[in-house]
Amino acid sequence: MKTLQNQTLLYDRDCPLCNVYTSGFIKTEMLDHNGRKAFCNLTDEEQNFIDLNRASNEIALFDNQSKTVIYGVDSLLKVIGHSIPLVESIGNFKPIKFGLKKSYAFISYNRKVIIPSKIDKTETLQCVPSFNTKYRLIYIVFAAIITSIVLFKFSKLITIIPASNLLRESLIAFGQIGFQALFISKLNFKKQLNYFGNLMTISLMGSFILIPVLILNPIIELPQIALLFWFGLTVSFMLCEHIRRIKLLALPKHLSATWILYRLLVLLLILFL
């Protein structure tokens, strides 16, 4: 690889994805050994020429010699493109770059609900993305749709319960948002959407855990008891994750109880209606 010298990427230390790909740039020698730096460790001098608000939303790449900065997709294309020029050429093609920027923003603005972290109040600089209502709502709907499709596919394997359809699973996926909203109505809009983002991430994680079964079952038809056991393990994991996130977000503990209540009510409706 051709190493990009005297350039430093600013990354969110609390974001696992940011940690992985920035360290990957170092290991593959796309950047030199000083090629990345945690946002919270910026010096006063560096803060003078870096847009801190923009750098919280779009990873910044600053030139240590010229003191110039580029952000987001442009930063990543420059790092990768220095070693693989074709990637930079393709990435800068307007339609592709438009898609890359939208995808980047979708992930960046939602990264704290995808993988939440506890805020360290002792740190002066916090790499926390701006709250963006549009991208948060898009993420919530996206996660609910994926969850609905996976649950529909999985429910078709469970023959001991009434046959399902995509509409029913969609109502269940979106319904949990409305149900939980009853218990957080006193919170401000931002906190509510932050919670709903975390709520749908948990559902999305549960869906991903079910996908291996969907892949395996056509090859080896699994018995009903195995399917139910796997589903039970998935729900148990989701509950533990919900409890963990509630604690991180400093939200009322009873939200985990209502999370369970909603699923019990849904199960009763499916069995007896």
pLDDT at 243: 97
- Which residues make beta-bridge pairs with 9? 36, 61
For residues 19 and 177, which has the higher predicted lDDT (pLDDT)?
Answer: 177
Least confident of 21-25, 72-76, 103-107: 21-25
Say what the pLDDT of residue 34 is.
85
> Strand 36-38 and strand 7-11: pairing?
parallel
Q: Is pLDDT at 114 greater than 90 in this prediction? A: yes
User: At residue 123, does pLDDT exceed 80?
Assistant: no
Q: Is the Cβ–Cβ distance between 72 and 59 less than 8 Å?
A: yes
What's the whole-model pTM score?
Answer: 0.92
Count of Cβ atoms closer than 10 Å to residue 5 Cβ: 13
Helix (H, G, I), strand (E, B) or coil at 8: strand
Alpha-carbon dihedral 268, 182, 170, 135, rounded to 10 degrees: -160
Q: Per residue in 50-95, pLDDT tens? A: 999 999 999 999 998 888 999 999 999 999 998 899 999 999 999 9
pLDDT of 117: 78
Q: What does pLDDT average to over the chain?
A: 92
Confidence of residue 166 (pLDDT cuts 50, 70, 90): very high
Please, what's the b/e burial string for 111-135 (b: 16 or more CB within 10 A of its CB; e: otherwise)?
bbbbebeeeeeeeeeebebeebeeb
Question: Model confidence over 132-145: pLDDT tens digits?
Answer: 999 999 999 999 99
pLDDT at res. 122: 65
What's the token pair of residue 236?
A: 């148990």
- When pLDDT is cut at 50, 70 and 90, the band that residue 97 belongs to is very high
